[in-house]
Amino acid sequence: MSEYSPLPVPPMSIRFDPAAGTLSPEGPTLTRRMSDLEGLFRDRAAWEQAVADGDPVVYSVVSSQVPEVDRELPQSITTIQPGATGGELWMTKGHQHPNHQGEIYLGISGRGGLLMFDGAETRWVEMTPGTIGYMPPGWAHRSINIGSEPYSFLAVYPGGAGHDYGWVLEHGMGLRVLAATDDNTAANGNTGTDTGVEFVAYSGD
């Protein structure tokens, strides 16, 4: 790769501690509180109440030192706390990569879901420790904690992909993921791995 010089970072070893959910050496850490998630929950009044009630941390993203630069391959660990606001399970903002490129997530701990939307179709991948979820180019993605413990996963993505959050605000994600009540779990015929989760359409918000 002689055409690619100088390298922004040297070849390196990155220590991945799945139990602690850390990368070392560590790069920037991003913390997303409830107030950072404006416009994303269906129930705006419940969102406002949650912001007023202490504005809890919903998720954090710990990065390695590999930069988000074209042709680099950054990694990060996201940890989403368990919870629901207006019945909607706590989630990441979700984004589209404007420079369409693929990405992988590896489940580390807890139970989560990977919701993908290409503007027309929606896909759901349940994530448990050891699951690799693959996002093809052009599929916006959002992660949801569907369990009662923190949900952590490792992300690996092209450094030049970019992150477009406005796309999700404009187009939605096709489906919303709610904590199912006993009633609607039975009504939807949910069994097995989907028990506890109810999907509702974005349309009609």
- Coil, helix or strand for 78? strand
* Number of chain positions touching ligand PAN (CB under 6 A): 13
- Rg of the chain (C-alpha set): 17
- The CB-of-27 to ligand PAN minimum distance in angstroms stands at 12
CA distance 82 to 36: 17
85: contact with ligand PAN by CB under 6 A? no
User: Which amino acid does the sequence have at 43?
Assistant: D
Footprint on residues 3-42 left by ligand PAN (CB under 6 A): none
- As to burial, measured by CB atoms within 10 angstroms (0-12 exposed, 13-18 middle, 19+ buried), residue 65 is middle
Which range touches ligand PAN (CB under 6 A), out of 46-54, 89-97, 114-122, 178-186? 89-97
Footprint on residues 141-170 left by ligand PAN (CB under 6 A): 141, 143, 155, 157, 163
CA distance 144 to 133: 13
CA distance 159 to 32: 21
Footprint on residues 73-112 left by Zn ion (CB under 5 A): 103
94: contact with ligand PAN by CB under 6 A? yes
Nearer to ligand PAN, 135 or 197 (CB): 135
Residues in touch with ligand PAN (CB under 6 A)? 61, 76, 78, 92-95, 103, 141, 143, 155, 157, 163
